[in-house]
Structure 1
């Protein structure tokens, strides 16, 4: 005759086994400290684009050729750098098992989306008209529409749960705004009567609505990326004919945006119950490197690593020439092309975002702490 073992005895036996056996103990410990970030949904411009523009026709903001991707495991992939971008490296830090696929890739559906999707588009901005210079690009509004209309229904099928249940397990990264200045305001696309302060206020107000829209769709964990010090880029210095110093008019503009973005993060938190928003100050991280590159392991913070195609040559003054020359010491360069950082700089930014305890770099907490909430 079989006997029923009391449940409390089973629990005691398993607990004792875990205590005595290091293997079982480590399994329980791992489960106890398992990060709560299941994947990433990414919105923004070229700094976080994983290859969406490869699938867009009639755009000049496309980098599906060498020397881009020279250090990436799969070669040129549409990432605007020599290797991994900051999203890839954040994914590594957070333990995401796969590269986040670009939305525009026709194969990005089904089981491929369970760790998230990247919607970022090089040349795009927070404002819909930003990026017209680059041709067809997906604005931040268009990216959010794609997330809502296409990805969410598929994700609910794949995860067998409503999006409002599953989305709090994902980190939503938003990295946009730089092109709204360099490819919009400073190119004279806005009215001459609009001051920089008014333009920036409109930009941050628009971004607030976009973040709230993601929140209303179920997002709860956010990382908002600052705009990088674009006035220190080789492109900016070439355009303003200066070699030694950063272009302060550009840096002042993006710094104004970054200050307002951090303020926005604090003010909208009360309007989004249950949300956690982290401000990643990549501006400061890069500015610190540029001010004293040697102390951070870099030797060149002035020139691009690759040969840039100038406007006279039919290029943009930003992107590398197809098959052009390239530096050999890429990890020592801050800028890969006329604007975008190397993988080495992306790694510094991702590491700071994940683990820094310095509030001026990441506020109010780092992404490791966020992942444990």
Structure 2
């Protein structure tokens, strides 16, 4: 899919960061560089595209792994990624969980009844999030100076889907920008239809939330209660 063609692999991203790490050590010295990195926030936002790829109707990945195997592979790969970042000085992590991906317009289109979410995709999203929280606890036990803030995207998004009016949302199924059924036959392009009031919508395009919803989530990540950000929010994490 074109969605993934421009992505940079985790291994390559780590290699790039390793170069930055070495440059900081050269410029600042070893101890000041470590102090700087230990006080920096490392934002980890990953998993949604992997699961969307798996549950795409033309998926090749689903032919190689069962959902359980795939979720385990995602989590174990991420754990090694964070451990390597830790070895290169990272101590504070902001980790974003996977949202209710089965309810995005693209996944609704997988059903004959587009009013329904793809419940299988949602089920395995919750399973991945459970594994993600577990591995963060494991890492904390292995490295006591590692701290993190986990944002429960699924819980926040599900609250909005269940009671959209309370959040000022009118449309939770159809994308604001696109073409065809649910505006989900293709991505947001110059030829696409665009809704007149995007703040009424949960989804901007086939997959992504609108700017207003993203602002809601950003506020929760920074100042949210333990219902959504745990064990601490980012505001607290910064001062730890």
TM-score (norm 1): 0.59
Aligned-partner Cα distance in 1 for 2:116–2:218: 26
Are 1:270 and 2:137 an aligned pair?
no
Equivalent residues in 2 for 1:1-373, closer than 5 Å: 60-61=2-3, 123=4, 135-149=5-19, 151-156=20-25, 160-162=28-30, 163-184=33-54, 186=56, 187-190=58-61, 192=63, 194-308=65-179, 317=185, 319-357=187-225, 359-373=226-240
1:191 to 1:241, Cα distance in 2 relative to 1, 3 A:
closer
- Deviation, structure 1 residue 136: 4.0
Counterpart contact for 2:107–2:118, Cα < 8 Å: yes
Counterpart contact for 1:281–1:361, Cα < 8 Å: yes
- Deviation, structure 1 residue 322: 2.2
Counterpart contact for 2:93–2:148, Cα < 8 Å: yes
SS in structure 2 opposite 1:183? helix
- Deviation, structure 1 residue 143: 1.2
Counterpart contact for 1:353–1:367, Cα < 8 Å: yes
Counterpart contact for 2:178–2:185, Cα < 8 Å: no
SS in structure 2 opposite 1:239? coil
Aligned-partner Cα distance in 1 for 2:185–2:93: 33
What runs of 5+ residues in structure 1 fail to find an aligned partner? Answer: 1-58, 62-122, 124-134, 311-315
- Deviation, structure 1 residue 141: 2.1
- Deviation, structure 1 residue 142: 1.6
TM-score (norm 2): 0.89
SS in structure 2 opposite 1:303? strand
Aligned-partner Cα distance in 2 for 1:333–1:205: 35
1:318 to 1:356, Cα distance in 2 relative to 1, 3 A:
farther
- Deviation, structure 1 residue 340: 0.4
- Two-structure CA RMSD over aligned residues (Å): 2.2
Number of corresponding residues? 235
Deviation track 1:22-51 (CA, whole Å, cap 9, x = no partner) reads xxxxxxxxxxxxxxxxxxxxxxxxxxxxxx
Aligned-partner Cα distance in 2 for 1:179–1:317: 18
Aligned-partner Cα distance in 2 for 1:307–1:191: 27
Counterpart contact for 2:170–2:200, Cα < 8 Å: yes
| Larger helix fraction of residues | 2
1:318 to 1:147, Cα distance in 2 relative to 1, 3 A:
farther
Aligned-partner Cα distance in 2 for 1:217–1:196: 32
Deviation track 1:144-184 (CA, whole Å, cap 9, x = no partner) reads 211112x22344466x2433221112110111111222214
Counterpart contact for 2:203–2:209, Cα < 8 Å: yes
